[in-house]
Structure 1
Amino acid sequence: MDTSVLPSYVTVTHPNKKGYFRMAPGTDVNIESAVKYEACRNDLFICSYPKCGSTWLHNVVWRLLNDGDGLPGHFNDHIPFLEFDGEEAIGNVQPQRGIKIIKTHLPYSWVPKHAEAKYIFIVREPKDVIVSLYYHIKGFAGSGTSKTSSRYVFDGYNWSEGRFETLVDAFLEGRCDCMDYFEMIDEWLQEGMGESLHIILYEEMMYHPENEIMRLAEFLNEDLSTKKHTFVSDITKNTSLAKMKEEDKKWYKANRTAPFIRKGIVGDWKNHMTPEQAIRVDKRTRQLLDKYPKILKTWNSLIN
């Protein structure tokens, strides 16, 4: 592949861990601080590959910890983005019910660990991830400098003329954001479901949102019996993609040429991928599904 046609990235390494991590230009200024952060017992890390529903999940978790109330202001003012904002930003946010919520796209081995901290990992069927990532990158396509917060500068991906088929190839070769998607998912799922790690499928959040919210509440030790009977349904309604689209600028600060919250539906890949492209992605997805049939069982109906 001609790498000159790829989005622009900065590749960073960890001082003590193997592997690499790709970031958009200008966003790596705090990565050294981020990887030195030492997790605390009251940390809640919400983890994912980009475009797997983590913003949506943060919205749900925030409301669970705040009696159903939404974020009072901009997302980044209350929930630090570990690899973009660094450790200082985590020290500056206020805990919610004693919990500090931290966003990250780092691989499992890079995420700071503490025996009493909690971790939520959300995963999405990769064909839809590719489509969402394509529009995400195109929306941040500029090469100029724009401040997303007081903590870091985002230069954009410099990919306004990028082609969808190029991104499909790059994704399958592990040349997009962060790292190889399939390797990242494998690394997280190897940890399984336990007291400190909660795994969510994006599709289950779409199909059965109230059930997933109740599972999240249990993981977070939130007693729903003390809430009003419409508590879960109210959170479902107030965190719907339609509602989040109404508050689109609440979820990002960089300049965009398109909304941050797009469709969010399951199966939008059918409007973009050729049958050959879908088969190539499904081949790698099947390897994950065969390895983790219980965790990923919802994907059986989504791949060939």
Structure 2
Amino acid sequence: MDASILPSYVTVTHPSKKGYFRMPAGSDKNIESAMKYEACRNDIFVCSYPKCGCTWLQNIVWRLLNDGDGVTGNIRQHIPFLEFDGKEAIVNVQPRKGIKIIKTHLPCSWVPKHAEAKYIFMVREPKDVIVSLYHHIKGFVGTGPSQSPSRTSSRYVPAGYDWSEGRFETLVDAFLEGRCDCIDYFDMIDEWLQEGMGESLHIILYEEMINHPEGEILRLAEFLNVDLSAKKQTIVSDIIKNTSLAKMKEEDEKWYTTARTTPFIRKGIVGDWKKHMTPEQAIRVDKRTRQLLDKYPTILKTWKSLIN
């Protein structure tokens, strides 16, 4: 295998929307069904680019809506992944308190809209996204010589990246050129932030959730109309404890359905890019990040201290 090539992707288009969407090869079997889903008034869409904390956020949202209790079994049994699971999975999932939570990495214009539905979009400083995405892709079964028996059982589906010899520098270049998962990362953020969905959209910065979890969870609860007045401190404290990195690592197999050679939950820290990127690579990423920061200085203000 030529180590300079990219992970294997399939590119799909929407029947009525502009642009494209890139998925791991072979994972697009339900995408046509997904595009037919019509949002409902009680839907909550948990949205992000991959590796921006979407799984963590799903866990938090679920617990907020269920008095602090976590999911039983795999999370996809309760929170369908729109573009991977399709319309039928969402229609068939059993709502809790009349509410359905739906995960997606689709661009904003592709996500089904309803005036009364709620949309949560999580963003993460892109240097850490690149590092997390690199390890994420490399960890799939079929992308390396060793396969852990505990992660290759029949409940998992094959991965399609086929990138066992992929190099970090190749992924950095591809990310900056918009040739990785989904669409260009910077374009995705720009589209969500300029959409102006008003009270229907809640933006969360990954770094703010790391640094100020209680405040961010309370903001999220208010957005979701979750009344925490009776047990606020207990429920929020329990959610912080039970959605910690250490706790989610203990329950690792709850969070994925595609066979892996490495755990799904890795580090999740801010600044891990410093152990992977050259100064030149960091400067290139920061240049594009600065364009977003200049356009959305208030929303993305936390990033000011994270870029050059």
TM-score range, shorter chain: over 0.9
For residues 233 and 143 of structure 1, the distance between their equivalents in structure 2, rounded to whole angstroms, comes to: 39
Q: Is the 8 A contact 1:141 1:156 kept in 2?
A: no
- Is residue 141–residue 159 contact of structure 1 (8 Å, CA) maintained in 2? no
C-alpha displacement at 1:301, in angstroms? 0.2
The alpha-carbon distance between structure 1 residues 228 and 171, as it changes in their structure 2 partners (threshold 3 A), is closer
Contact 2:3–2:165 (Cα < 8 Å) also in 1: no
Q: Of 250, 254, 259, which aligns to 2:258?
A: 254
Q: Which runs of 5+ in 2 are unaligned?
A: 145-151
Structure 1 segments unaligned to the other structure (5+ residues): none
Q: Does 1:207 align with 2:177?
A: no
Q: How many residues align?
A: 300
Equivalent position SS for 2:45: strand
Deviation at residue 219 of structure 1 after TM alignment: 0.3
Quote the Cα distance in structure 2 between the aligned partners of 1:185 and 1:137.
21
Deviations, residues 13-49 of structure 1 (Å, cap 9, x unaligned): 0010110000001210000010111111111000000
Match in the other structure for 2:30: 30
Q: Distance in 1 between matches of 2:107 and 2:216?
A: 23
Q: C-alpha offsets along residues 62-81 of structure 1, whole Å, 9 cap, x if unaligned?
A: 00000000001111111100
What letter corresponds to residue 220 of structure 2 in structure 1? L
CA contact (8 A) 1:148 1:254 kept: no
Q: Greater shift after overlay, 153-162 or 132-141?
A: 153-162
Q: Distance in 2 between matches of 1:67 and 1:77?
A: 19
Runs of 4+ in 1 over 3 A off after TM superposition: 146-150
Structure-1-length-normalised TM-score? 0.95
Alignment root-mean-square deviation, CA? 1.8
- Matched with 1:217 is 221
Distance 1:147 1:17, change over 3 A: farther
**1:262-283 deviation digits (Å, cap 9, x = unpaired):** 0000000000000000000000
Whether 1:179 and 2:183 are equivalent positions in the alignment is yes
Identity %, equivalent residues: 82
State the distance in 1 between where 2:153 and 2:181 align.
20
Deviation at 1:192, TM superposition (A): 4.3
Alignment of structure 1 residues 1-304 onto 2, 5 Å:
5-140=5-140, 142=142, 153-192=157-196, 194-227=198-231, 229-304=233-308
- SS, match of residue 199 in structure 2: coil
